[in-house]
Amino acid sequence: QVQLQESGPGLVKPSQTLSLSCTVSGGSIISETHYWTWMRQRPGEGLEWIGYIYYSGTTYYNPSLKSRVIISVDTSKNQFSLTLRSVTDADTAVYYCARQFFQYWDYWGQGNLVIVSS
């Protein structure tokens, strides 16, 4: 059974950088059929797709966040990461990592709440 687990700080100061990692267990991140995705959900709101990475390092981002986002992968750790620069309170959200198969997400992490506040 594949499992994903987010980790990272729950509090980030405005203008600083948010960094989260997602560790994959029960399966290899080196997969020709899967992409590894980050999404977020602001409090009381819907889901927003942030972007994905392929094990080779190929990435694709939401145009609305592209200038501030980097998603990277570390195959030796079976892990991928999210970096979001210059955060504001609008970036306060639960951040989810998920495994993408074709055009849907079949396994999700439990979510990591990140609050942007001084």
Partner 1 sequence: QSALTQPASVSGSPGQSITISCTGTSSDVGGYNFVSWYQQHPGKAPKLIIYEVTKRPSGVSDRFSGSKYGNTASLTISGLQAEDEVDYYCSSYTSTATYLFGTGTKVTVL
**What are the residues facing 108 on neighbouring strands?**
98
105 in contact with partner 1 (CB under 8 A): yes
Does 109 interact with partner 1 (rule: CB under 8 A)? yes
The rounded distance, in Å, linking the Cα atoms of 50 and 52 is 7
Q: Does 108 bind partner 1 (CB under 8 A)?
A: yes
Residue 30, classed as helix, strand or coil, is: coil
Three-class SS of residue 91? helix
Q: Choose among 8, 4, 30: nearest CA to 105.
A: 4
Piece of 8-16, 24-32, 79-87, 95-103 that binds partner 1 (CB under 8 A): 95-103
Q: Which is nearer to partner 1, 19 or 62 (CB)?
A: 62
Name which of 47 and 75 has its Cβ closer to partner 1: 47
Q: Which of 33, 76, 104, 117 binds partner 1 (CB under 8 A)?
A: 104
Cα–Cα distance, 89 to 70 (Å, whole number): 19
Q: Does residue number 62 form part of the binding site for partner 1 (CB under 8 A)?
A: yes
CB of 103 to partner 1, least distance (A): 4
Q: Does the protein bind partner 1 through residue 49 (CB under 8 A)? A: yes
- Rounded Cα distance, 97 and 63, in Å: 18
Residue 55, Cβ neighbours under 10 Å: how many?
Answer: 17
Binding site for partner 1 (CB under 8 A): 45-49, 60, 62-64, 96, 98, 102-106, 108-111
